Structure 1
Amino acid sequence: MHEEVQTYQRQGFGTAMEIRPPYGLLIIDFVNGFADPAVFGGGNIPEAIRNTQPLLRAAREQGWPVAHSRIVFADDDADHNIFTLKVPGMLTLKQDSHNSAIVPELAPAAGELVVRKTVPSAFFGTSLAAWLTQRGVQTLLVAGCVTSGCVRASVVDAMSLGFRPLVLSDCVGDRALGPHAANLFDMEQKYATVLTRDEALAQIAQIAQRVPGVRAAA
């Protein structure tokens, strides 16, 4: 891995990206089905859900825009797609199904956006980008699952749309740890800043001390 890191550095990847307010928080697909190892879960997803709870509290205390996503297919499967050809079980995620519901620990509050999607990215075909832009978000903190799938797809789209993704490494999870680690590495090299939750909140607090009018998470 050390040799691989050197290759990326030599080629100019992994340049540090400034964390710039205003901030927003996107929590991707922390739903019951992905929290359950018997359905779509496993790996370090339960730990990531636990770590996201203080993050969500901090975001709410500071009044940051908060968006959640969940996968929801039509009751009659009319919107089935290529994603469901690869993962047919996704069609079990309906509007009123238990497995599609956001976990109670991270239930959306009034005023928080809930994005319903049928593909990995929370941005593709949704109003998320416009919603964040209207609220002035520049740096988008990202939590959720899975790291190698819907998190990565959403981070790539966020970067493509002009947001600065900040992936919280201990607030994202995957059913397998190998893909989790590999995709954190790749996102940090190409698309995002990757920090732990506490590292990110500490940096945001430091920025708030330097920039008048910017609130930091406690």
Structure 2
Amino acid sequence: MKESLYTIPLMDAFKADDECPFCFIERELEQHAISFILGSAYMEDDIRMETDETGFCRHHYKMMYDYGNRLGSALILSTHFKKLNKDLKEQIKAFSPGKTSLFKKSKASENPLSDWIEKKEHSCYVCNYIEKNYDRYLDTFFELYKKNPEFLELFKKSKGFCLHHFKELAAGGQNKLNDKQKAEFYPILFSLMEENMKRLEEEVTWFTEKYDYRNKDKDWGNSKDSIQRCMQKAAGGYPADAPFTADR
């Protein structure tokens, strides 16, 4: 199989022995985007035009702050706020409150100003970067599954996926696999999920039981970090990660 730009990182993610290889990929994409935008990219006109338009979500503003390049963040924000304030002024100028009704409560969709803010809250340069590249990794996953025996073995021996990425794979198989491939793929996927969800249940349960005085001298096994791994499995991400900073 001809290697694509996404093949090696995806293979590496499955070799990382992570609770979810796609969480691993998303973290790599997210950190790359933050490093890129706060490296030298913020000095490039085309990048600044894009960040001026899209801005960032709450989560990624926090990551940018933690990263540590204050000047880079300030330069990005200075031109973004010029655009933001220009648009805000236009929205306020055009705003006209609807008439109060005793029988009908107004909805955000009936308020153009609220709609504009709603769009801003879901507009983010880093989220866009992750989403664009994630879709390509998902395509690569199914291509490797169909054509690469080494990857198939990595998949079979993996720890499964978080529920969010399990959903993506379950949906993706419907469109990217033929009927014969589906008949092989879904039993493997479902078995991985059931087996590894049960494993985490047992590990975190043992974590709680270790606090019983009768078990204080028994081995922790794999339960010491089971809390964050359960959280990852249930919702994705890495709740125990330290802030991502420029000096890592």
Q: Say whether the fold is shared (TM-score over 0.5).
A: no
- Which of structures 1 and 2 has the bigger CA Rg? 2
More helix by share: 2
State the TM bucket, normalised to the shorter chain: under 0.3
More strand by share: 1
| TM-score, normalised with respect to structure 2 | 0.22
| TM-score, normalised with respect to structure 1 | 0.23
